[in-house]
Amino acid sequence: MATITLDNLTKVYGTHAAVNHISLDVKDGEFISLLGPSGCGKTTTLRMLAGFITPDDGRILVDDKLMSSSQKTIPPEKRNMSMIFQSYAIWPHKTVFENVAFGLQLRKVSKEDLRRRVTRALDVVKLGKMADRYPSQLSGGQQQRVSLARAVVIEPEILLMDEPLSNLDASLREEMRVELRRLHDEIGITTVYATHDQGEALVTSDRIVVMYDGSIQQAGTPEEIYERPTTEFVARFIGRCNTLPGTLLASGQVDISGILIAANSRTEGVSPGHEVILSVRPHSIVLDSDEARGQYPNSFKAEVQSQVYLGEYRDYIVKLDNSDIELTIITPPTIHHAVGDQVYLTFPPEACRVVPRSSRIKSELADMVTAITSEV
């Protein structure tokens, strides 16, 4: 296994910084996801790590040994890394066993050792009984398992994956997310995984590195990224979130078009008087028809604009009284209000988080989310 250090890593194409002075430490045996929309720099970072691209500035170190800089780049075949791409890239005329064995044959491994290692790799990915089949006889998920077995059979120090599940249908992607995590727990290879799929990142990762416009927005555990975003981009991009622009007051409240909402959580560096975003998850807002609820702190009258029954929950859009503020709220399916009903919303202060406001994020992110949704 191995540690990875990205130190001030930079790659520029023309006048555009695809990767803009990023720094990151990956622990031995850690599973890291680079998460972000198309064009955020995650694949460029992965390809620099693999040795396919030379950085314009900064360094890549593995176990404190220099792999890449603007002056020197160790070629991919000498890095003891394996990379899995979006396409399965397996030989159609070779059996499963032969596909997995190919890398070992190039390394002149003895027949006895080759058979032992290939058999073990196929058992790890649960394809031991399919060793004699050809790719045309496998499902998409099984073909991806062949790619995984071929990557790990050479016993690399580092495993790199570039959106490996993007060609699978939704149900297979969900299955393979769990399999990737199980595989990592079993063999413990230091792994860097590039994806735009939040579900993949949340299920598989020890830590998620959220990227946007060539920069790292936030790095943390899945829970930290989801519950405690530190930038407007992360708050909007990860999961569903109500993001309300306003001004932070000395009282700790956020003034949103004259409506004052108290928030107990804020990003460091945000001070009273700053333009901010109040972020609160749809499932954290309490929706109630009891008029007494309107007397509670952080409670406001609203009107139901729409509601959708989705089996496990109901999805509401409500509009605060005397404002243009619309909010998305998720409730248990037993809470039922019709369109036009007057209701009361309560914002638990501990569920309200204040992050700095970005002037450019909203319009750009709306386009990104639309594009990602259409892909899924």
Please report, for the domain that includes residue 60, its CATH number.
Answer: 3.40.50.300
pLDDT, tens only, 334-358: 999 999 999 999 999 999 999 999 8
Residues 196 and 277 in one domain: no
- The pLDDT of 111-130, averaged and rounded, is 91
Average pLDDT over the chain, rounded to an integer: 90
Q: Is the pLDDT of residue 375 over 60?
A: no
Structure-token pair, residue 185: 């727990």
Q: What is the pLDDT averaged over residues 80-94? A: 86
Reported for 126-134, long-range contacts at CB under 8 A and 24+ positions apart, including other chains, are 126/179, 127/96, 130/96, 131/95, 131/96, 131/97, 132/95, 132/96, 132/97, 133/95, 133/96, 134/92, 134/93, 134/94, 134/95, 134/96
Q: What is the pLDDT of residue 97?
A: 95
282 shares its domain with 340: yes
The CA-atom distances, in angstroms, between 138 and each of 27, 83, 132 are 35, 21, 11
Give the pLDDT confidence of 21-54 residue by residue, as tens digits: 999 999 999 999 999 999 999 999 999 999 999 9
CB-based contact 118:197 (threshold 8 Å):
no
The answer to whether the predicted template modeling score (pTM) of the entire model surpasses 0.85 is: yes
Residues 208, 353, single domain; the answer is no
pLDDT of residue 209: 98
278 and 193 belong to one structural domain: no
Which residue range forms the structural domain that includes residue 58? 4-226
Q: Is the pLDDT of residue 372 over 60?
A: no
Residue 348 near residue 338 (C-beta atoms within 8 A): no
pLDDT score, position 112: 92
Strand-by-strand arrangement of the 265-266 sheet: 259-262, 253-256, 242-248, 275-280, 353-356, 265-266
Amino acid at 180: L
109 and 253 in a single domain? The answer is no
State residue 373's pLDDT score. 47
* Same domain, yes or no: 146 and 270: no
Residue 235 lies in a domain: no
**Residue 371 above 60 pLDDT?**
no
270 and 125 assigned to the same domain = no
Q: 219 and 252 share a domain?
A: no
Q: Which of 199, 226, 253 is the endpoint of a domain?
A: 226
The predicted-structure confidence for 165-185, as pLDDT tens digits, reads as follows 887 787 778 888 888 898 899
Q: Residue 27 has what pLDDT?
A: 96
State the CATH number of the domain containing residue 347. 2.40.50.100
Instruction: Say how far apart CA 163 and CA 43 lie, in whole Å.
Output: 9
Query: Which three-class secondary structure string do you get for 280-296?
Result: ECHHHCEEECCHHHHHC
Mean pLDDT score, 71-80: 92
When divided into structural domains, the chain yields a total of 2
Residue length, the chain? 376
Shared domain for 167 and 93, answered yes or no, is yes
Tell me if 305 sits within 8 A of 325, measured CB to CB: no
262 shares its domain with 348: yes
Which residue is it, tokens 């720094």?
A: 23
Q: Classify residue 232: in a domain, yes or no.
A: no
The CA angle 207-210-212, to the nearest 5 degrees, is 165
Residues 29 and 144 in one domain: yes
Distance CA 260, CA 244 (A): 11
**pLDDT band for position 376 (cuts 50, 70, 90):** very low
Residues 212 and 65 in one domain: yes
Q: Is the pLDDT of residue 368 over 60?
A: no
On whether residue 88 sits in a domain, the answer given is yes
Domain boundary among 194, 226, 258: 226
Domain assignment present for residue 237? The answer is no
pLDDT of residue 136 exceeding 50, the answer is yes
